[in-house]
Structure 1
């Protein structure tokens, strides 16, 4: 800069200095911009996506160049201001140099700060770029896997394109309206291809996400199925266990009842045994007394007679006691028999109880084994659930990133939908023209907003209607004088879409509406429940309708509605 100002002392020289300063600054700025561009190209390393980093630095360089020009413009304004204040050229050069130097120094510091900030942002952008590169490689791998499917779609698209060309060949034979439609259609075809490309890209991403979701759903369903099967088996085992427990409780109840009865019988038996012991004690006492009496009898004869009398009395009592004893003995035998029976039943119950206990132990062993297996399965299920949660977390992160990327694409998708709507409208118009062309080839006759076709063979009313339905039409409905006169001009006996087969005397058209305007021949309809279908018979007069049996074979007329 100092060399740029050497040898310049007058005002014009000052202007030259300013101009050279501007040129020198511009050259420096250009050199800085070139160096920034080289740095951008070097930083990109030729990797895909480096264009974004390069554009960011180039944009920053342009901004810095604009700031430098702004400072130079301010310096020029200051120079002209000082010149207008009457400063001498030398003073003006000195002041100008100081101010310009200060401005340039300040600007250099700001540029260094901005450079450091940009360098930091560059490092952050490079880190983000590397992460995005890794994700892009993964997406490219998925894209290559789906490329085959895209080729199949392209094959289908080429087939459709071939059909479109065939349709266009047919359209070339139509009138001026058709040519205008083809021109619009060709314009829309290009837009449709662009829309299809975007649609295929979206469909590819959706299919990838759906595949991941379906895999996780399948694993979850399999685990739920295994869990439900184990739960069902557990419930069945619990049901069997509860049934066995109920039966055991019932057996225990019966056993306790029998045991109670046995205890009551033992109590009664013990009471009788006690009484018998008391009677035996009394008997022994009496026997002792009897011996004493016999001894007294041998000593005293008088007393013997008394003792004999007493003895006879005692003998009578003894016989009574023996009879009672025999009865008690019989009852004891009966009690022993009942006791033995109860003991046998108790042994049987104990055997059954032991068998049930053995079965219960076996069931408990099986139950514990199943419980162990269930716990192992639950552990595996929890591990899989944890892995699924991790996969879902990764999936949600990817979904969030995808949604962020799709946000910028939504505006274009809206435009695509609008174009798609226009394309669908044009497709409908094309289909209508195609149907009209096909109908013209099948000898359909156009009248008002409908096409009509008269058959060349005879069929019943129901068969005639089925034939019309197969052609996308139905039997003719006549609701105006113009339609009636149009139908009469074919000069044939024709089935029309009129019947009273649901309710005799209530005539309805095939679209379900009731007949309001009629053109019956005088005296018609007169067939009652036998003639339930309407026909055009007396076509030489306006009132040409007649009712006839539906099974009769006649010609018929079909009607197809066409949008106006």
Structure 2
């Protein structure tokens, strides 16, 4: 479509100029006033029109030839020769008119025009024939040019595709190198993991042997405890038999004693009463002493057992923690190996797919190579035919052939690079196979190690269960042994006590007769002693109650005094610290007065740096305290947030104020948003001023002291 459009524009331009020339010639012809020359003028106009048509045909053929090839010098020379042979140019009508006017004889001009008309007709036919030949040659040349362009474009496309494939193969080569490096690193990682698993396996084996040794020790202890338990049971049986015999003897003696006491019951009622009370106190004291000693002994035993059990518990807890950490480490390693195995399988699949893709690309390159070879042969044949038929296009064809040769060389270079890449790909495929074998071997080793680790973990868990069982059995046997020991000790103590009671009863029975005479005197003495003791007890109880109340009161006073002492000490410490820093105390707060001048904001920053705020004046006394320093001081009051709304730095609104009369006033329209103590000789001493002014300032730190 573009070629047809260009041809139409060229034809239109070629037609316009001759028509303008013919129109000009026609106007020049009309300027002749003679009427008889109308036919001549018509003949001249027709002749000029034919010449214009011939000129247009020549221009069309020239434009077509120029459009086919600008450098077609042969065709241009032929057209120029034709134009020169006919003496024609673009201004043919004007030249003819001039020659007619120069001749001056219209008949001669008519004959010449007729002769020229005949010649032009012949030449027109010849030119038409040549034009037809030129057009056919033009079509042949156009077809050949299009074929060469198509072949050139195809060669460029093939070259571009091969370049792209070369770049792709380079990228794939880089990827394969990176994958080779990553696989090597993974292999090293797997070998490291394998070494770690071997070390863990060795540690678990050592732990299993240690647990077996502990199991043997526990079994030996269990056997010894069992033998000791049997011995204690035998001793317990013998002791119970002795206790039974002693109990029977005691019962006999008690019955004998009861008989004797029944005989002297009437005379010893009061003495027995007092003696019973005394005996109750003594027995209570003795029983409490025995219970205390027993409890001390039990506490010591329990502390010893608790210490031993805590040591055993700590040892077992340590073992349990170690086993738990090892189990967690094994689980983590197992999960890591699973993830590593999955990643290796995915990479292997990806490498296999890439290898198949490269094989397909290699086959495609081979087929393209065959097609390019066939196209190259066809191009050579076409080139030979075109060179024989179109000698005028020799230079262009030579250029195309040179370009084709360059593309062929590039194609050969690309094929060579492709072969090198294919060789590297083969090497990497072999390395991949070797790495895959190493990976499989490592996976098998990991599987074996995991199985060993699982079996060792199961053995460890089984031995831990046996250890717990032995520990529980040991604890039960220890408890039973301790219970039997306590029972044996109690029986022995009971036997000793019964023996002593029997001997005591024997002595009492022997001395009962001798004591009968002294009972009356002893009774009277005991009555008197009892009365005195009761009075002393009552007096001592009242004194004890009074002293206890006094002690409680003194204790409360002591606590209060200590609290006051601590508070005073705290206050003293605070006073000393702030006094050293030039702070002044007043009504529960410390105040600091600066020695330099700053703006209101910088003053606030300084107070914040000291852990305080600009002073907040709450009452008349505090205002008088601030005024006594006789200085212009910044205070922590401002209306910077909202004009006319004065608030303190802690966010509380202003309730009690001491403004000087007429203040605050924003004097002369300035932004006086901060407060100062200016008129300190008066109670109402406050003044509003610009916050950027430089003033002394007072910081306040509330301590609650």
The answer, yes or no, to whether TM exceeds 0.5 is no
Higher RCO (C-alpha 8 Å, min separation 6): 2
Name the larger-Rg structure: 2
User: Of Structure 1 and Structure 2, which has the larger fraction of its residues in helix?
Assistant: 2
TM-score (norm 2): 0.30
TM-score (norm 1): 0.36
